Structure 1
Amino acid sequence: MTLTQFKNLINNKLNLNYPKTEIDTFFFLLIEEKLDFQRIDSVLKADFIIPSEVLSFFNAAIEKLKNEEPIQYILGNTEFYGLPFLVNKNTLIPRPETEELVEWIITEIKEKRDKKQDISILDIGTGTGCIPISLKKILPNVTVSAIDVSKEALKTAEENATLNSVGISFIETNILSANDLPESYDIIVSNPPYVRELEKVEIKNNVLENEPHLALFVEDDNPLIFYDKIADLAKLHLSENGLLFFEINQYLGNETIEMLAKKGFKNIELKKDFSGNDRMIKANL
């Protein structure tokens, strides 16, 4: 089968499941992953004969896509903040919104560095490690640690740290049962589970059926359970003028601000993501 024939095949097989723009994205990701072809190669090498073992992978990928499996899990990797990350069903797929949180932290660190050189960061609920690894890669002189409850997720995060040639301390801890943190930090950041069970109806099936619910959902009657606990720990373990960053549920911005204010946090700033949704919070004691 030629490259052009495969492009026609994937469009014909998936046109009832996805818009054409998304199918085109699948096609380009697949040929880049397995053939090391760029977009222009789909034109320049239109008559290229796809090797049989690669075609077998492509055919299997089409069937998985028809069953709404995320392309990132099919490929086993994705990109976040311009860096490569391994992903699997033990980890959430990193989102573009979280890149904005990373960018915000980097901006704040560059401002703090005028006053303090040795900055330490803790990421709670690290998953793939996308937040701490990106921070360490961009700011190699900071000290970065990361916590997760999942042994499998931490294994993936460690592999991602190696993949991106950064040194990070990974810690297996159930943050909800933790009484303290290993040390004090200048920045504590977390993108914890925040989707309420009642919001499952808004979640796309490819996420609902594939990504780990442990990292996604919280009970309707206590949706801020992780934020409340992390804020308490931050009060004990943030250094003087330290900052707390959260990625949040877009519907619970005011509730999260109120919770932080009651605990004595100041200068609480709520920030929208590129879609205009309340998505990030910064605060300090």
Structure 2
Amino acid sequence: MLFDMRNLEKLIDLWFEEDSNYFDLTAKIMVDDDAVATFAMNAREPIILSGLPMAEKIFKRLDPDCSFEALYRDGDSIPAGTAFAKVTGNAQALLTAERIALNLMQRMCGIAGLTAQYVKEIEGTGAFLVDTRKTTPGLRMLEKYAVTCGGGRNHRLGLDNGIMLKDNHIAVAGSIAAAVARAKAHAPVLTKIEVECDRLDQVKEALEAGADVIMLDNMSNEDMREAVSFVAGRVPLECSGGVRLETIRGKAETGVDFVSVGRITQSAHCVDIGLDDL
């Protein structure tokens, strides 16, 4: 996953400003300024790890000299009751950073775990699970990183990563052929053009127009199988729209190359992680 940790610094500043403003009143009153403590980050339920390097950055923002020891790696499957990291440093700083680090990892591990469930459902089909732009504002790159920890792959990171011609774009252009022609005339030469289709006749038009990728949006499994047969591997096909854990296997078995699922980022539950004194 392409993730620039420098961008995380800006987010950390915002998180601390939101959570502690001038200072952590409780920690200032209850903990001596020079007190040192060691804490373990524990999984209180089975999890797929995601966010360890980010948690380390959060703790070190308030105590640059603290020691952060990762006992496992992002992407590892951790059983309940397992300590996966230890941090030693200024007690005030670590306690102030605790909730921010936990909130982020609980969210990221939740996404990684849900992603892994979807990936397991389509094992052996040849299709890849990909994410969408249905992410939490401000957390997109972290959530997309979490998807990769769970074994998924990233779709567009943002609107500038590729051209996706949806129904409204096509309506404005007048037709799929006109939309693709306009996109090809102005897009950077290495940029792919994907066309969203919800009917088989649109698939044919998109293919003839020179689309690089075709999205089969909310199509029945029967229609997707027909589209796969017609396209015959000439361009990759993506299945999208209303995909659930209980339906993804059947959709992947139609022969599509990618199945995109917004739920892995939009609907993932946070897992239970704790920071406990050692």
Relative to the length of structure 1, the TM-score reads 0.30
Which structure would you say has the larger RCO, counting Cα contacts within 8 Å and 6 or more residues apart?
2
Relative to the length of structure 2, the TM-score reads 0.31
